[in-house]
Amino acid sequence: MRALRILVPVVLVGAVVAVVVSRFDVGEAIREVTLPLRHDDIIRQQAEEKDLDPAMIAAVIYAESRFRDDQTSEAGARGLMQVTPQTALAIAAETGGVTFEVKDLDDAQVNISYGSRHLRDLLDQYDGNTIAALAAYNAGSGNVDKWGGPALAIEDIRFDDARAYVEQVLEKTDEYRDAYADDLGLQ
């Protein structure tokens, strides 16, 4: 009788664990670790508003912060898209953001909005050349202008880390497009 009292709870716990495990999507869990996506609603909104590929916004966020909101670089770039205070203040001035404070970059909505605006501005500046815009996002417009401006190709990027950044964002853009088409509104 005593063995039965021990065995029944053990069997019940085992059954519960089996049900939980059977409903756990291992592929989904792996994808969440290797290719995370958060704030997809904000990404979709900003992509539509700024005529950007939402998969590219997600890829920039991945490259900049791996979707961790609390990132601050040595240069002071903050948040998901690693927007510098200087860039943010310029965007706030251009868009009438009179109440903007640098600490607002810690808010996902503000950060993705300003980072997307900066990416859109760079794409416009470089005549839609994604490689040049991404290189400028990472290494600055001054460097991209020296390397070829709107005609920039990947092999023209003179900083290894900037070239690797551009290659990573382009690769991750394709991965986000494939893995998260529904979430990013690409269907």
CA-to-CA distance for 66 and 150, rounded, in angstroms? 28
Answer yes or no: is 185 within a domain.
no
Q: Are residues 48 and 30 in the same domain?
A: no
CATH of the domain at 54: 1.10.530.10
Q: How confident is the model at residue 81 (pLDDT cuts 50, 70, 90)?
A: very high
- The predicted structure's pLDDT at residue 34: 85
Kindly report the pTM of this predicted structure.
0.85
User: What string of H, E and C letters represents the secondary structure of 104-168?
Assistant: HHHCHHHHHHHHHHHHHHHHHHCCCCHHHHHHHHHHCHHHHHHHCHHHCCHHHCCCHHHHHHHHH
Q: How confident is the model at residue 4 (pLDDT cuts 50, 70, 90)?
A: low
Known catalytic residue at 101: no
What does the pLDDT look like over 110-133, one tens digit per residue?
999 999 999 999 999 999 999 999
Q: Are residues 13 and 58 in the same domain?
A: no
- The predicted structure's pLDDT at residue 20: 56
Q: Is the pLDDT of residue 61 over 90?
A: yes
Q: Are residues 8 and 57 in the same domain?
A: no
- The predicted structure's pLDDT at residue 187: 75
In total, how many domains does the chain have? 2
CA-to-CA distance for 135 and 149, rounded, in angstroms? 10
List phi, psi (to 5°) of 52. -120, 160
Query: What value does the mean pLDDT take over residues 60-79?
Result: 94
**How far is residue 1 from each of residues 5, 6, 9, 23, 48, measured CA to CA in Å?**
6, 9, 13, 34, 66
- The predicted structure's pLDDT at residue 164: 98
- The predicted structure's pLDDT at residue 11: 61
Query: What value does the mean pLDDT take over residues 26-37?
Result: 76
- The predicted structure's pLDDT at residue 60: 98
**Residue of 28, 48, 64, 171 marked active site:** 64
Cβ burial 93-122 (10 Å sphere, 16+ → b, else e)? eeeebeebeeebbeebebbbbbbbbbbbbb
Answer yes or no: is 186 within a domain.
no
- The predicted structure's pLDDT at residue 75: 87
